[in-house]
Amino acid sequence: MSSPQPCRRECKPPRARGAHLEPGAVVASATEAAQSGAPYVTRPVAYDAVLLSGFGGPEGPEEVMPFLRNVTRGRGIPDERLEEVAHHYLAFGGASPINQQNRELRDRLAAALAASGIDLPVYWGNRNWAPYLDETLAQAARDGVHRMLAIATSAYSSYSSCRQYREDWADALEITGLQDVLQIDKVRQFFSHPGFVQPFIDGVRDGLEAAEQAGHARSEIEVLFTTHSIPSADAALSGAGQFDGAAGGAYVAQHLAVADHVMAQAAPDVAWQLVYQSRSGSPSVPWLGPDINEAIEALRGRTAVLIVPSGFVSDHLEVLWDLDREACQTARDAGLWVTRTPTPGTCPAFVEALVDLVRERLTGTPVAQRANVTSVGPWFDVCRRGCCTKSTTPTPGPAIAGLVP
């Protein structure tokens, strides 16, 4: 007779009330090399482990609604509206692929670190579902870990793709009582690392070849770089003033820089644009646009579309549903040939990029020697004051790996 499976906790940790600061430090829960708040850390740090942090996702139908409540906690969204999203997960058996993708990324990263002579274990914890970050940090502490280098599975600067991870790390440290035990630094936003960008270059080249073989001239092809839409006011706060006056702040500037480099390398003679997807929230609140479906419907003089999910690390549900099902159907309904190019996933170039980001902090790599292929970057090791705060939250929540608040 098999033993019963343990019940998964349904709720993520409560918000932290504060974050630990060493005397004289301006960065909470940071290693000594990062405590001063300098934008780049060029002193070597002897980390004990790597923390891979994911968004999380349900792995069965019974987990879908509790997971969605975690994602939307504090926003007052009723279950009736969440059920509209739940059917996307249920169409895939109630399981998001994201957890398995992160398990594979964790294992390949651990193997690549070992192959590079870097003896660091890789722990994995999620923001919104098991394994939760507090569970992961508690296990790391039991294993004797004191200094961790965190990698969020998101490449760009915004509240949801950077600061919210930093806030959730602060939450996990507080609920576990490990604020005086664990120090956690974070690798820089990696949108501009060649190992992240190369899979998109390869995807555009392959996609254009397929379109041409299908009989479409390059002048008839449109490349759509797509990323998650966010509130326009939040986008303006990304980057902590680095792009004041530029529409969309650092979030848009970083995406445009990536797309510009990809097209310069893969297809400088083909038309492209940056579009957005997966919008949620009140219709009265301005979000970044155009929506990918509206952009497809507005195309004129085109016979083929390449969809490039440059805002995403892996083929999670918003890629499989919003792009492979909805956006591709919109293109077909418009009479367009369409293909969607791959995300980095666990391709060797991306895994090696993560190894390189870890090596930067282990050795204190000077900024001028860091891998960077776009006109924007390399980005900061320590997030700047007020970076990527949320426009609807006047007082930011406690966060680590950046200048307070």
Q: List the chain pLDDT tens, one digit each, 405 residues.
A: 333 344 468 888 899 999 999 999 999 999 999 999 999 999 999 999 999 999 999 999 999 999 999 999 878 788 888 998 999 999 999 999 999 999 999 999 999 999 999 999 999 999 999 999 999 999 999 999 999 999 999 999 999 999 999 999 999 999 999 999 999 999 999 999 999 999 999 999 999 999 999 999 999 999 999 999 999 999 999 998 788 778 899 999 999 999 999 999 999 999 999 999 999 878 889 999 999 999 999 999 999 999 999 999 999 999 999 999 999 999 999 999 999 999 999 999 999 999 999 999 999 999 999 999 999 999 999 999 989 999 988 788 999 999 988
Greatest C-alpha distance within the chain: 66
Indicate the SS3 state at residue 251. helix
Backbone φ and ψ for 221, nearest 5 degrees, come out as -105, 140
* Element containing residue 52 per DSSP (H, E): strand 49-54
The angle at the Cα of 138, spanning 132 to 143, to the nearest 5 degrees, equals 130
User: What are the domain boundaries of the chain?
Assistant: 194-340
Rg (C-alpha) for the chain, rounded Å, is: 21
Cα separation, 49 vs 148, in Å, equals: 5
> Which CB contacts under 8 angstroms, 24+ apart, belong to 129-133?
129/8, 129/12, 129/56, 129/57, 129/58, 129/59, 129/63, 129/67, 129/70, 129/99, 130/8, 130/9, 130/56, 132/9, 132/12, 132/13, 132/56, 132/172, 133/13, 133/53, 133/168, 133/169, 133/171, 133/172
Q: In sequence order, which residues have a C-beta less than 8 Å from that of residue 194 and are 6 or more positions away?
A: 349, 353, 371, 372, 373
User: Residue 329 corresponds to which tokens in the numbers above?
Assistant: 């159907």
pTM: 0.96
384, 267 Cβ separation under 8 angstroms: no
* Residue that is written with structure tokens 């914890």 in the block: 125
Q: Hey, what amino acid is at 163?
A: R
The angle at the Cα of 281, spanning 276 to 284, to the nearest 5 degrees, equals 95
Indicate the SS3 state at residue 397. coil
User: Residue 77 corresponds to which tokens in the numbers above?
Assistant: 């969204």
Strands lying side by side in the sheet with 183-186: 122-126, 49-54, 147-152, 183-186
The yes/no answer on whether domain 194-340 falls in CATH 3.40.50.1400 is yes
* Residue that is written with structure tokens 């006047």 in the block: 394
Pairing of strands 304-308, 337-340: parallel
Q: Going along 206-288, which residue ranges are E strands?
A: 221-228, 271-277
